[in-house]
């Protein structure tokens, strides 16, 4: 079967969530507005996540997986997914399912006019410290990138794959996906999506990851913006073949 949209699901020690992930994503595939597949990227989990992922993929034709040899971080997992997919569109959702797969249909309504559509979590069900650190980090990031995005940490995005594959990822850059699409002169927008409390497992990011780390990443982004190479091919000898 040919799929138009692939959803990347980064996984790191989420054994308590994966049964629910299978149920929620299987239900979404039945209501998806385009032909959709699922790609788990296991970021070197040390629990039973991989055995569960393999069982899920065996039961479900539209589910596949990649397994890292060692833990490399969320940005690496997303980049590996971008590299692996061959569908026209690619997206991702966190395996904690604090966002709903159903909202992909809302984002997909806007992808024809944009190269990236990202969610904005409404009424976030997180702790006060997590919410405040995210707001501060987003404010700092906007000051550096001028991307106008209110919630780049939202783990619900849809991107045109040819743009996603050209993003030069490094650790922490998953927060800068809209800004990196802008470097390619791509159009971006944000759409309000649902948000829910974490039902199982533990959060993988602390205060450093949400606040101080992103501040350092802003300087890396500014360096990359200055050095970024952007071009479009006007004509090729292969066009006549």
pTM exceeds 0.85 for this model = no
- Exposed/middle/buried for residue 188 (C-beta within 10 Å: 0-12, 13-18, 19+): buried
* 67 assigned to some structural domain: yes
Residue 133 in domain = yes
Could you give the 3-state DSSP secondary structure of residue 178?
A: helix
The pLDDT assigned to 122 comes to 76
What sign results for the dihedral spanned by CA atoms 25, 77, 118, 165? negative
Range of the domain at 23: 5-229
Establish if 91 belongs to a structural domain: yes
Domain membership flag for residue 135? yes
pLDDT at 227: 78
Q: Left, alpha or beta for 184 (phi > 0: left; psi -120 to 50: alpha)?
A: alpha
Identify whether 239 is part of a domain: no
CATH of the domain at 200: 3.90.550.10
Count of structural domains within the chain? 1
Helix, coil or strand: residue 61? coil
Domain for residue 240, yes or no?
Answer: no
Give the per-residue pLDDT at 27.
97
**List of the chain residues with pLDDT < 70:** 123-146, 148, 150, 196-214, 241
Closest of 134, 121, 108 to residue 196, by C-alpha: 121
Cross-strand pairs, 37? 6
Give the 3-state secondary structure of residue 160: strand
In a domain, 193, yes or no: yes
Residue 2 pLDDT = 94
| DSSP strands (E only) in the chain | 5-11, 36-42, 63-67, 89-93, 116-121, 156-160, 188-193
CB 123 within 8 A of CB 164: no
The CA distance from 159 to 172, in Å, is 18
- The pLDDT assigned to 241 comes to 64
In a domain, 24, yes or no: yes
């Amino acid at each position: 079967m040919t799929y138009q949209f692939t959803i990347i699901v980064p996984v790191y020690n989420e054994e308590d969530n994966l049964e629910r992930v299978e149920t929620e994503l299987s239900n979404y595939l039945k209501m998806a507005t385009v032909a959709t597949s699922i790609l788990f990227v296991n970021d070197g989990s040390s629990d039973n996540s991989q055995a569960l992922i393999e069982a899920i993929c065996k039961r479900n034709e539209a589910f596949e997986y990649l397994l890292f040899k060692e833990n490399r971080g969320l940005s690496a997992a997303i980049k590996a997914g971008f590299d692996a997919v061959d569908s026209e569109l690619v997206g991702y959702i966190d395996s904690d399912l604090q966002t709903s797969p159903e909202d992909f249909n809302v984002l997909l309504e806007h992808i024809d006019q944009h190269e990236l559509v990202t969610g904005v979590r409404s009424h976030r069900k997180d702790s006060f410290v997590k919410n405040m650190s995210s707001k501060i980090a987003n404010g700092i990031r906007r000051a550096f990138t001028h991307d106008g995005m209110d919630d780049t940490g939202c783990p619900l995005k849809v991107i045109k794959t040819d743009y996603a594959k050209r993003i030069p990822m490094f650790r922490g850059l998953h927060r800068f996906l809209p800004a990196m699409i802008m470097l390619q002169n791509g159009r971006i927008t944000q759409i309000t999506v649902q948000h829910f409390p974490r039902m199982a497992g533990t959060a993988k990011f602390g205060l450093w990851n949400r606040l101080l780390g992103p501040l350092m990443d802003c300087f890396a982004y500014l360096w990359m913006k200055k050095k970024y190479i952007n071009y479009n091919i006007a004509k090729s000898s292969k066009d006549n073949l």
